[in-house]
Chains A and B, each alone.
Chain A
């Protein structure tokens, strides 16, 4: 691995879509790349045209409050959709959490039946639910070769998301509610895109998932594998949530 290998994180709407400690995900990607001798760079992709998305290895798209989500809605379709699609085809990865996850799907339907179109990069659809799902989540992940095989996080959403044929669940819910509270699925994986309701932040307590995303992104840059890191602090925090979930 050459010491000046760049690793670029594109943070979509870092100023507006950042409600649930989403900085933790970006920081985890950047630090774990840095600890491997890579040269990480975070590009904040705000509203408007202008940024060059060509170098981005991993996009992060977090959740926002209703007002902020409304403010980026048009911008996403007008300025970001096409280049996101192109970059992902070329091997860039996307991690989307909560609001970001919903906006990557086909649509969000309000309680009154009004539909807001997403950008359809994930084969999922979301409908408003009555009760908010709030609490710890533990899932058994469907991604192969992840150790540990669990993912832990915190959910806080009223949307109910349902997966189409193209999307596979990120995991099976062992604790908490997940996508919709009824089919025991949580999140979605489709090609280079992962969507999920888990924050907390997600990646700091799931370093194996962070490395999975970094590894996939770097494969196209000719990086075959990532060196081992001491993850005892991260896995202790992961294990603490597992233990609490088991206690009920």
Chain B
């Protein structure tokens, strides 16, 4: 207990120091410090929660989904602790818990909502002992860091089996890789999925990974493709098929980046978020909320007033132009952001930002899997930005997209965007993680946006 209190104090002091010295949001370092003093600190703090925790993982959508789940729990009068700033390693979760711990070292909250990076999930489940774990999707992402999808899927399956008896796995039935994990679990998971062929395509994008049956190796037949390789699929030899969802979304309506609507198990949901990928995030949140005991009618009402997280469809007005910031960090995410911006929102002005720092992934070859061809003859202005703007320029050239000069300086990229966007018009900023931080830092420096840990 003394050790726990000491760890909490040291961690909290580090967080304050890092915010004062403006070295960032103090989102992970405090966790590092506290864990060095008491390695079991996260387990101890998580057991202080009066109701328990939910852990959220997947390649895409975990930040938005964690934010929605927190929003729902808070609206129902619960005190929620969550790692909000996209700090999704075990240190980030620890730091979030520390931040809310009192002087006596006790965490004073009802629920923990933790978004956890796929590779850190086994450790997080072991330490946090959640009541529910939500696995959203598994796409190719940051190959340099993770090795390959296969090994991660196996580790996640093991971790889900290691959850306590009364914990629920909430899984996306539409993702073949997630289904493969869930079909052999000891306890039956809660499956969710989309069911609306009007918003589906029939063909897989090039970037799809889960194309083959995990049992016999035959190429899967997709009857509907929603996002990446997520859709309705079956093995031609009847060895594997999409699990029947327990919670389904139907009658989907999409209105650009402005809003979406869908019916989930008889409840009509409207949401101020755009894009088909957000249908998955909202549906996942709904399924998770139900598994935690929230009422469907309440959920639908509360969702109407949701506000997006940092860089996830964040809206900023900049010198009379409306900027929409969309974090896009891998082929599946980028394709959906482009599809929403070009097809649904009819966007014409873009900054595409690519960095290759550790948090972005140091291997940028994935840009060749993104269908930038979607911008052909539709975008007026495309500005390649970020550390690897030169690579983006080549990618856009081979996609037959007319791009401006590459701008490695975020300020120059923004200036160029303002020059080529008329006053009152909307421009889209699609960037990898640290490229988005760089653009945002520049907007903060010019007084157009708030620092991210205050949003």
Binding site for B on A (CB under 8 A): 15-16, 18-24, 27-28, 31, 46-47, 65-68, 70-71, 132, 134-135, 154, 156, 199-201, 204-205, 233-234, 236-237, 240
Q: Count A-B pairs with CB separation below 8 Å.
A: 86
CB-contacts of B139-171 with A (<8 A): 140, 143-144, 147-150
Segment of B86-94, B309-317, B388-396 engaged in the interface with chain A: B388-396
Distance of A154 Cα from B391 Cα, bound (Å): 13
The reply to whether A24 and B390 form a contact with Cβ atoms under 8 Å apart is no
Asked whether any CB of chain A lies closer than 8 Å to the CB of B368, the reply is: yes
Residues of A within 8 A of B397 (CB): 233-234
Binding site for A on B (CB under 8 A): 140, 143-144, 147-150, 206, 209, 211-212, 217, 219, 362-369, 388, 390-391, 393-395, 397-398, 406
Would A68 and B144 be within 8 Å (CB), given that A27-B398, A237-B391 are in contact?
no
**Which listed residue (A47, A66, A134, A237) contacts B148, Cβ 8 A?**
A66
The reply to whether B368 and A201 form a contact with Cβ atoms under 8 Å apart is yes
Expressed in whole angstroms, the minimum distance between the Cβ of B180 and any Cβ of chain A is 11
Residue of B whose beta carbon sits closest to that of A201: B368
Expressed in whole angstroms, the minimum distance between the Cβ of A21 and any Cβ of chain B is 3
The reply to whether B368 and A15 form a contact with Cβ atoms under 8 Å apart is no
Residues of A within 8 A of B394 (CB): 204-205, 233-234, 237
Residues of B within 8 A of A20 (CB): 143, 363, 365
Q: Which of B143, B362, B393 has the most CB of A within 10 A?
A: B143
Residue of B whose beta carbon sits closest to that of A134: B144
The reply to whether A135 and B398 form a contact with Cβ atoms under 8 Å apart is no
23 contacts between A and B (CB under 8 A): A16-B212, A19-B143, A21-B364, A23-B368, A23-B369, A24-B365, A27-B398, A28-B398, A46-B219, A47-B219, A65-B209, A70-B217, A134-B362, A154-B363, A200-B363, A200-B364, A201-B365, A201-B368, A204-B391, A233-B390, A234-B397, A236-B393, A240-B391
Q: Which of A47, A205, A236, A237 has the most CB of B within 10 A?
A: A237
The reply to whether A154 and B398 form a contact with Cβ atoms under 8 Å apart is no
The reply to whether A65 and B390 form a contact with Cβ atoms under 8 Å apart is no
Distance of A15 Cα from B205 Cα, bound (Å): 10
Residue of B whose beta carbon sits closest to that of A30: B398
Would A24 and B395 be within 8 Å (CB), given that A65-B148, A154-B363, A237-B390 are in contact?
yes
Residues of A within 8 A of B367 (CB): 21
Residues of B within 8 A of A204 (CB): 368, 391, 394-395, 398
The reply to whether B398 and A21 form a contact with Cβ atoms under 8 Å apart is no
The reply to whether A23 and B390 form a contact with Cβ atoms under 8 Å apart is no
Expressed in whole angstroms, the minimum distance between the Cβ of B118 and any Cβ of chain A is 15
Distance of A204 Cα from B394 Cα, bound (Å): 7
Residues of A within 8 A of B368 (CB): 21-24, 27, 201, 204
